[in-house]
Amino acid sequence: MHENFISLKEEKRDVIINAALMEFATKGYDLASTNEMVKAASISKGALFHYFASKKDLFLFLCDYVFGVVSREFYEQIGHCGGDLLTRYRRAAMLKGTVYQRYPPIFEFIKRLTTEKSAEIAAELKERLEKMMSYGYECLLGNLDISLFRQDVPSDKIRDLIIWALENYGHRSLELIGDQKVEDINVEALNADFDKYLDVLRKCFYKQ
């Protein structure tokens, strides 16, 4: 599937992907226009539909493409820093910033996916998001070194409290970022603020 598109030269393929990502990210699925995509990518509409059967087919391809990039350059790298949960979250934050700055359209596309309401792609999108979330948790939480945690509190409670705290922190950060473009986000300030919260969690839940 999509062999004709995959076999394109990387430069041409990336232009089409980025044009489509930004159109979906900016307008959402229902309002996204393939006319605008081909205009931005400088290709014909016939060429686009030679590669993809429909707008829905293109959208789902982009979901799989984005999840592939995020898995390869984000999730699969988290576990390389050992079993310390807070260190993994710290590495995740650093990797996320790097990936988003390297692939700005992906960041915008993922932000849109979290609020996408189109009924036409709801079932397929839900399945993909759940699969990606499950894989992400597997990478983040697999083989944890619970010996680092305080011994007077059950380790599963510590793990859950840390996850809840940092996931809510992540949601708050996304709200603060709002509609800012990737290049306008002060990543260093965000990371410095995140480190302060990690220090508090380490003092509360880790052996001292």
Cα 37 to Cα 49, 115, 150, distances in angstroms: 12, 21, 53
List pLDDT tens digits, range 86-133: 999 988 888 877 777 777 788 889 888 988 999 999 999 999 999 988
Least confident of 9-18, 60-69, 183-192: 183-192
80 pLDDT band (50/70/90 cuts)?
low
Binning the chain into helix, strand and coil, the percentages to the nearest 5 are: 80, 0, 20
Q: How high is the mean pLDDT of the chain?
A: 88
CA distances 60 to 66, 157, 158, Å, are 10, 37, 37
Residue from 145, 154, 134 nearest 83 by CA:
145
Which range among 29-33, 38-42, 105-109 shows the weakest confidence by mean pLDDT? 105-109
Contact 159, 146 (CB under 8 A): yes
Residue 176 has pLDDT above 80, yes or no: no
Predicted confidence at residue 26, as pLDDT, reads 93
Is 90 exceeded by the pLDDT of residue 4? no
For 166-175, the pLDDT digits (tens) are 989 887 877 7
Query: pLDDT at residue 23 above 80?
Result: yes
pLDDT, tens only, 125-147: 999 999 988 888 888 888 899 99
